[in-house]
Amino acid sequence: MTGASTGIGAASARELARRGFHVFAGVRRDRDADALRAPGIEPVILDITQPGHIAELAARVGSRAGTLRALVNNAGISVNAPVEALPLEEWRRLFEVNLFGHVAVTQALLPDLLRHSGRVVNISSVGGKVAMATFGPYAGTKFALEAVSDALRQEVAPLGMRVVVVEPGGVRTEMGERGIATTSRLAEAMSPQHRGRYGPLVEAIKALTAAGTTGGTSTDTAARVIAKAVTAARPRTRYTVGRDAALLTRLSRMLPDRMLDRLLAATLRPYYPKPTAG
């Protein structure tokens, strides 16, 4: 499992270990490894943008006797910014972590997964189905991950492998808090023109993200859904986590684009900063 330092990843590692799995849990720092280490959980220092780390993981997995049951691609970062205002190097960094890193890990472990009729579980997002304003960068990576998952599912199904996507909505994790901090940093770096065009929108998004972080689904609930995706004998191709994800993915299939735009704008409207008297 990648991205197991905190949040959904850490909770899923513990849930799978509780169910009897031996979990290779990818973390970025030694202190995260120390916090997560437990019976059934073997922390691995893993930056999925580093080919050397991925090669070491593949060797470590291959050297262990037993069946490789599943790869859970959970690592990710959150970046919210208007399309016009986000520097290209930030776009590239986001895609390296949220998409290309997952492809690299999948390519490295796929031979073992194929030998054992395992499965790939890709942690996407409701943002892989619906993109609100300023979610273009993050949702772009998740839309792409959904497409890669669809293609991979069809490619390996005849070989006895399954590919499953999990789409969380708002979940109470540190990722939301980190995302707000990143959004603030990027907003401070915007040009005066960009701030004039998008400043209130960015503030509204930060407030909406904070509300979703505090009122979202628990990581334990998300972990149980991920464990189901790993263990179900006949898993669905997609699982949602949380009522918001279930509702939005359903609406995205039913509503015309402009009607969905109006619904998302109405959802965001209460979070805009109130005008100050003066």
Is residue 139 situated within a structural domain?
Answer: yes
Rg (C-alpha) for the chain, rounded Å, is: 19
Q: Give, for all 278 residues of the chain, the pLDDT tens digit.
A: 999 999 999 999 999 999 999 999 999 999 999 999 999 999 999 999 999 999 999 999 988 867 899 999 999 999 999 999 999 999 999 999 999 999 999 999 999 999 999 999 999 999 999 999 999 999 999 999 999 999 999 999 999 999 999 999 988 877 777 878 888 889 999 999 999 999 999 999 999 988 877 778 899 999 999 999 999 999 999 999 999 999 999 999 999 999 999 999 999 999 999 876 55
> Would you name the residues annotated as active-site residues?
138
Q: Is residue 278 in a domain? A: no
Tokens 């943002």 sit on residue: 127
3 state SS of 74 = coil
136 belongs to a structural domain: yes
CA dihedral for 264, 170, 75, 93, sign (positive or negative): positive
Q: Which amino acid would we find at residue 51? A: P
* 14: containing domain: 7-271
Identify the three-state secondary structure at position 271: helix
**Structure tokens given for 88:** 């290209």
pTM (2 decimals)?
0.93
- Does residue 239 fall inside a structural domain? yes
Q: Report yes or no on 155 lying in a domain.
A: yes
The full DSSP string for 197-218 is HHHHHHHHHHHHHHHHHHHSB-
Domain membership flag for residue 1: no
Q: Is residue 110 a part of any domain in this protein?
A: yes
Number of independent structural domains in the chain: 1
Residue 276 lies in a domain: no
Q: Measured between alpha carbons, how far is 11 from 133 in angstroms, rounded to an integer?
A: 30
Q: How far apart are CA 160 and CA 156, in angstroms?
A: 7
- Rounded distance between C-alpha atoms, residue 269 and residue 274, angstroms: 10
Half-sphere exposure of 197 (CA within 13 A, CB side): 11
Rounded distance between C-alpha atoms, residue 68 and residue 71, angstroms: 8
Strand (E) or helix (H) holding 36: helix 30-36
Please name the residues in contact with 182: beta carbons below 8 A apart, sequence gap of 6 or more.
Answer: 77, 78, 79, 80
The values of phi and psi at residue 119, to 5°, are -150, 160
Read off the CATH number of the domain in which 262 is found.
3.40.50.720
